[in-house]
């Protein structure tokens, strides 16, 4: 497995187009409410925005796109909404995985999948298997994902594999057990829907990501909105702890 350097241990190479974009797709419910539609209609329109953002990112040469679809806290929603979301997830996988494969997209899911019904788990497994050798873009869906869960599952697996050493583990030793060990850390984090919080998304991996928040509700997030986010990213100075003067010396 490719192993990517950690932003707190090394200064990563940066480029004009972010290599990895991670998005909290928020605002589906409000999008629907404004139109006097049921919340699930907002989620349906959200799936269309997902399709578009995958295409636009692939065209721009983004290599990793990670989308937060369902958090470990979203089970707290009304049971009807949770079950409609699960149905939508199944439907989207049934329809889209083959298209992802045709477009050379590698599909991955991170999160605790054990709580999902067997049919959904099977679709995820089959989709990952089918697309595992695709190289154009890696699409990761975070489902029943929580940043704290991720760090703890990594720690527990690390300890289970090294029972003889109960202390003094390093960051580099933990990193391979995190659920996104196959990807570099996100360069650009986007949250739609106006809230300015992380909501237990990739806590470890966002250490040095550039954060971008927009009022745009997820179903309205289009190519122009993506370009605005990338353009904001391009105006940032990524110092990784160094001074601005140091960066200019190396330029
Ligand atoms: C994000 O949209 C989708 C999920 C969390 C599944 P929301 O459903 O949170 O939409 P708002 O925030 O209520 O508008
Ligand atoms: C975050 O959105 C999770 C997803 C987009 C899947 P939420 O709508 O659940 O976040 P909070 O509750 O407003 O923080
Ligand atoms: Mg929300």
Task: Quote the DSSP letter at residue 219.
Answer: G
Listed range (10-14, 35-39, 43-47, 136-140) with the worst mean pLDDT: 10-14
Q: In a mutational test of the pocket of ligand 1, which residue from 23, 24, 29, 34 has the highest number of ligand atoms less than 8 Å from its CB?
A: 29
Strand partners, 247: none
DSSP H or E segment with residue 71: strand 64-71
* Ligand with an atom nearest the CA of residue 69: 2
Distance from the alpha carbon of residue 241 to the mean position of ligand 1, in angstroms: 34
Stretch 81-109: mean pLDDT: 97
Give strand ranges (E) for 100-193. Answer: 105-110, 137-145, 188-191
Question: For residue 170, which of 1, 9, 7, 4 has the smallest C-alpha distance?
Answer: 9
User: Ligand 1 pocket: which residues have CB below 6 Å?
Assistant: 25-30, 70, 74, 85, 193
Query: Pick from 14, 104, 20: which is nearest to 62 by CA?
Result: 20
Q: Are 135 and 106 in contact (CB under 8 A)?
A: yes
Average pLDDT over residues 72-88: 97
Decide if pLDDT at 189 tops 70. yes
- Count CB neighbours of 125 within 10 A: 12
Q: Whose CA is nearest to atom 1 of ligand 2?
A: 199
Active site residue 74: yes
Ligand 3 centroid to residue 38 C-alpha, Å: 14
- Cβ contact 190:25 at 8 Å: no
Distance CA 244, CA 224 (A): 30
Catalytic residue among 16, 26, 28, 56: 26
Q: Please say whether the beta carbons of 42 and 193 come within 8 A.
A: no
Residue 14, pLDDT score: 85
Please report which ligand is nearest the Cα atom of 201: 2
Domains of the chain: 20-197+212-235 (3.40.1180.10)
Q: Specify whether the CB–CB gap between 104 and 136 falls below 8 A.
A: yes
Local structure of 213: helix, strand or coil: strand
User: Is residue 9 very low, low, confident or very high in pLDDT (cuts 50, 70, 90)?
Assistant: confident
**Between 8 and 60, whose confidence is greater?**
60
| Res. 166: pLDDT tops 80 | no
State in Å: Cα 87 to ligand 1 middle.
Answer: 16
124 contacts 113 by C-beta, under 8 angstroms: yes
Task: Tell me how far apart the alpha carbons of residues 109 and 188 are, in angstroms, rounded to a whole number.
Answer: 19
Q: State the Cα–Cα distance between residues 225 and 196, nearest whole angstrom.
A: 17
Q: Counting ligands in written order, which one lies closest to the CA of residue 67?
A: 2
Mean pLDDT over each residue of the chain, to the nearest integer: 95
* Mean pLDDT, residues 67-93 taken together: 97
Q: What's the CA-to-centroid distance between 244 and ligand 2, angstroms?
A: 35
Give yes or no for residue 183 having a pLDDT over 90. Answer: yes
What are the structure tokens assigned to 12, written together? 């990563």
Instruction: Spot the catalytic one: 74, 103, 134, 200.
Output: 74
pLDDT of 1 higher than 70: no
Task: Identify which has the larger pLDDT, 167 or 206.
Answer: 206
Query: Which residues are near ligand 2 (CB < 6 Å)?
Result: 24-26, 68-71, 74, 195, 197, 199
Q: What pLDDT, on a 0 to 100 scale, did the predictor assign at position 3?
A: 66
CA distance 26 to 38: 16
Q: Rounded to whole angstroms, how far apart are CA atoms 212 and 233?
A: 8
pLDDT reported for residue 99: 98
| pLDDT tens digit sequence for 105-147 | 999 999 999 999 999 999 999 999 999 999 999 999 999 999 9
């Amino acid at each position: 497995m490719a192993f990517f350097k950690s932003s707190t241990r090394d200064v990563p190479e940066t480029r004009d187009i972010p290599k990895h974009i991670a998005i909290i797709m928020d605002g589906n419910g409000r999008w629907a409410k404004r139109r006097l539609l049921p919340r699930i209609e907002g989620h349906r329109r959200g799936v269309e925005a997902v399709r578009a953002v995958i295409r636009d990112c692939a065209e721009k040469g983004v290599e990793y796109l990670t989308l937060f679809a369902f958090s470990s806290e979203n089970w707290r929603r009304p049971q009807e909404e949770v079950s409609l979301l699960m149905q939508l997830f199944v439907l989207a996988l049934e329809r889209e995985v083959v298209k992802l494969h045709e477009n050379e997209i590698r599909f991955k899911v991170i999160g605790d999948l054990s709580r999902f019904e067997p049919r959904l788990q099977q679709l995820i497994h089959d989709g990952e298997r089918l697309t595992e050798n695709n190289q154009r873009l890696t699409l990761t869906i975070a489902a029943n994902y929580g940043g704290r869960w991720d760090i703890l599952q990594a720690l527990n697996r690390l300890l289970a594999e090294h029972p003889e050493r109960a202390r003094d583990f390093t960051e580099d030793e933990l990193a391979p057990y995190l659920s996104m060990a196959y990807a570099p850390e996100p360069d650009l984090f986007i949250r739609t829907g106006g809230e300015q919080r992380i909501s237990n998304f990739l806590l470890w991996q966002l250490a040095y990501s550039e954060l971008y928040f927009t009022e745009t509700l997820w179903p309205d997030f289009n190519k122009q909105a993506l370009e605005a986010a990338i353009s904001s990213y391009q105006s940032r100075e990524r110092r990784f702890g160094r001074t601005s003067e140091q960066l200019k010396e190396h330029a």
